[in-house]
Amino acid sequence: MYGKGIIKGLGVTLKRFADTYLDDIQWWGRRYYKAEGIAHRSSKDTRGVFTVQYPEEKLPVPEEFRYVPFLVYDDGTDGGKEVRCTSCGICAKVCPPQCIWIVRSNDPQTGRPIPEPTEFFIDADICMNCGFCAEYCPFDAIIMDHDYEIASYQRNVFNMQQLLKPASYYKSIRPLNYQRNDEERRAKEAAKAAKAGAAS
């Protein structure tokens, strides 16, 4: 019969239409604006309306999510910021579009380099969010951010002040990575202390 195929196809759309209401009823009160509901709507069993009502509800980003990188600082003992970066330059070297600019500090007296950047720029209008800088930084000093709501009315070249974020923020967005790095650091420090102890 001519038209059978069309009807069959329309059946699919009709089912989809009905599914919306069925799923709404089945998940009554839990489907929207709840973490559980969002998880359901991104699972394999989702049917019906698929929309995430951004900005009222936000699709959670996974831990590995990467946007523009930021620099981590630890809270110093005197309330200052202890920048983790040692200005080793690896991130600037590995960055594919070369959008990281680092000025290394030099000791005013000796002229020798000090492991701390004086200035650090990332041109966010070039950055390709590839994550290499964070991946290869040996000091976990540069981390890929989760904050994507950074639209602005001008171009975005971030300097060090804009890039710095506390380690606690890092911990909050990437708990697993933070934990892993923390353990590694501690192990390293312990090994160092043990070595120093053995030597003395």
Partner 1 sequence: MTDNKELNSPGYEIPEDLQHAVSITTIDRLYNWGRRWSVWPMMFGLACCAIEMIAAQAARYDLARFGMEVMRPSPRQSDLMIVAGTVTKKMIPAIVRLYNQMPEPKYVVAMGACASGGGPFKEGYNVVAGVDKFVPVDVYIPGCPPTPQALTAGLMKLQEKIDKESIRKVRWYQKGADSVELPIPVLGPDLMDPRRYNEIKMLAAKPAEPATESKA
Partner 2 sequence: MTTLVETETLDLAARFPGSAAADTRPGYSDWIVNKDKLVEVATTLRDEFGYDLLSHVTGVDYFPDKMEVVYEAFKTTGGPGVLFKVQVPRVDPIEVPSVTPIWPGAEFQEREIWDLYGIKFTNHPDLRRILMWEGFEGHPLRKDWHEPFYEEDFKPLKSRWPDGKYVSSEDKNPYKDNLQFPQNFDPEKVKIDGEAPLYDTLQKYTTVDGGIKTDHIIVNMGPQHPSTHGVFRAAVVLDGETIVSLKPVMGYLHRNHEKIGERNTFLQNMPYTDRLDYFNSMSNNWGYSLAVEKLMNIKVAERAEYLRVIMAELSRIQNHLILIGMLLNDLGAYFTPALYAFEERELILDIFEATSGTRMMCNYHRFGGVSRDLPEGVLEKIRGLVEDRLPRKADEFDRLLTENEIFISRMKGVKVMDAEDAVKYSITGPVLRAAGVPYDVRRAQPYGIYDRFDFDVALRHNGDLYDNYLIRLDEIRQSIRILQQAVKQMPEGPINSQKPQYQVRVPAGEAYGRIEAPKGELGYYVISTGKPNPWRYHVRAPSFINITALEKMCVGKKIADFVVILGVLDIVLGELDR
- The footprint of partner 2 (CB under 8 A) covers 2-6, 8-9, 11-13, 16, 42-46, 50, 61-66, 87, 89-90, 92-96, 98, 100-104, 113, 119, 121, 123, 128-132, 135-136, 144, 157, 159
What x/- string results for residues 137 through 156 when contact with partner 1 is judged by CB under 8 A? Answer: -----------xxxxxxxxx
User: φ, ψ for residue 141 (rounded to 5)?
Assistant: -95, -20
**Across the chain, which distance is largest between two alpha carbons, in Å?**
94
Q: Site for ligand SF4 (CB under 6 A): which residue of 38, 48, 70, 87?
A: 87
What x/- string results for residues 5 through 44 when contact with partner 1 is judged by CB under 8 A? Answer: ----------------------------------------
Compute, in degrees rounded to 10, the torsion defined by CA atoms 165, 34, 44, 20.
Answer: -140
Q: Is 120 exposed, middle or buried (0-12, 13-18, 19+ CB in 10 A)?
A: buried
Q: Is 73 exposed, middle or buried (0-12, 13-18, 19+ CB in 10 A)?
A: buried
Q: Site for partner 1 (CB under 8 A): which residue of 32, 67, 101, 139?
A: 67
Residues 37/27, Cβ–Cβ less than 8 Å: yes
Q: Which does 167 bind (CB under 5 to 8 A by kind): partner 1, partner 2, ligand SF4, none?
A: none
- Encoded tokens for 33: 């604006």
Q: Which residues bind partner 1 (CB under 8 A)?
A: 49-55, 58-59, 67-68, 96-98, 123-129, 148-156
